Amino acid sequence: MKPASYSLSWVNSSRFENLSIGVIGANALILALETMAVAPWYTYLVIADKLCLLFFVTEIGLRITATHHMLNSKSWYSTLSHFFKDGWHVFDFIAILCSFIPGLGALRTLRLLRLVAKLHAFRGPVEDLLHACRSSWQLFCLAFFLTFLGALTGTLAFQTKLPDLFGNLTIAMITCYSMMFGDNVSGNLSAMAEHNLILTMVFACFVMLMHGLILALVVSLVVDMAQQRRGNTP
């Protein structure tokens, strides 16, 4: 057996996959303990976390190298293009890359999401959901447009009167999204009614419309996922 073939079989073996899953689980435990640990244990946990990150980087490098040898390619560009055609590889790379971005240390938890890519019990439903989302993109676009419209209207009407809710477009978008999912709807509408009753009625209609749109979106996703699973059933 050629060394390249052996490297490929070892990297893609079930033992290596189980090792990777074990390191992800250990990393989850380490990050959880970091939130409770005090010196000097905190320092040891940080070192252990760095070792887990080193393993993940090495794993990605080994998989890319194995792919390069498997394709027998002379160009690393074609190797990377082939490797990142798999969306799960892109997800793995981004999850690990976030650990190196300054100021975003909390995003180290994204590395734990790699467990979704490793376990087929998680991977199947996620793929079905993504497929359903692609077929329901019109509803997502409509929901975003209506939210933007409501936020823009609220900002123009209540920017100075209710700065906590509509101080700028970003805050207004957050307010509209929270109302869309039923968070403090009555309180926000009551505060708006004190300044402009007509616009408050318009926003009440907006909230009802968004609730109906969310229901339609959920039903559409469930139906698409059911059809997808039925189509994959032999």
**Residue 129: inside a domain:** no
Higher-confidence residue of 109 and 63: namely 63
pLDDT tens digit sequence for 177-197: 888 877 788 888 888 888 888
The residues, ordered by sequence, that sit 6+ positions from 10 with a Cβ below 8 Å of its Cβ are: 16
Say if residue 113 is in the same domain as residue 141: no
**Residue 125: inside a domain:** no
**Residue 124: inside a domain:** no
Residue at a domain's end among 56, 91, 118 = 118
Residue 108 in tokens: 């180290």
What average pLDDT does range 24-45 have in this prediction?
Answer: 84
Domain with 193 in it: 134-232
Residue type, 37: A
* Its pTM surpasses 0.75: no
Say if residue 138 is in the same domain as residue 207: yes
Say if residue 23 is in the same domain as residue 91: yes
For residue 226, give the CATH number of its domain: 1.10.287.70
Say if residue 89 is in the same domain as residue 153: no
SS3 of the chain: CCHHHHHHHHHCCHHHHHHHHHHHHHHHHHHHHHCCCCCCHHHHHHHHHHHHHHHHHHHHHHHHHHHHHHHCCCCHHHHHHHHCCCHHHHHHHHHHHHHHCCCCHHHHHHHHHHHHHHCHHHHHHHHHHHHHHHHCHHHHHHHHHHHHHHHHHHHHHHCCCCHHHHCCHHHHHHHHHHHHCCCCHHHHHHHHHCCCHHHHHHHHHHHHHHHHHHHHHHHHHHHHHHHHHHHHCC
Q: Across 99-113, 168-182, 201-215, which has the greatest mean pLDDT? A: 168-182
pLDDT tens digit sequence for 115-160: 777 776 666 677 666 666 666 677 778 878 888 888 888 888 888 8
**Residue 123: inside a domain:** no
pLDDT tens digit sequence for 90-119: 888 888 888 887 776 677 777 777 777 777
What average pLDDT does range 35-60 have in this prediction?
Answer: 85
Domains of the chain: total: 2
What average pLDDT does range 77-83 have in this prediction?
Answer: 82
Say if residue 21 is in the same domain as residue 113: yes
User: Rounded to whole angstroms, how far apart are CA atoms 62 and 12?
Assistant: 10
Residue at a domain's end among 118, 152, 174 = 118
User: Rounded to whole angstroms, how far apart are CA atoms 33 and 217?
Assistant: 38
Q: Count other C-beta atoms under 10 Å from residue 20's C-beta.
A: 19
- pLDDT confidence tier of residue 1, bands split at 50, 70 and 90: very low
Residue at a domain's end among 84, 118, 152 = 118
For residue 101, give the CATH number of its domain: 1.20.120.350
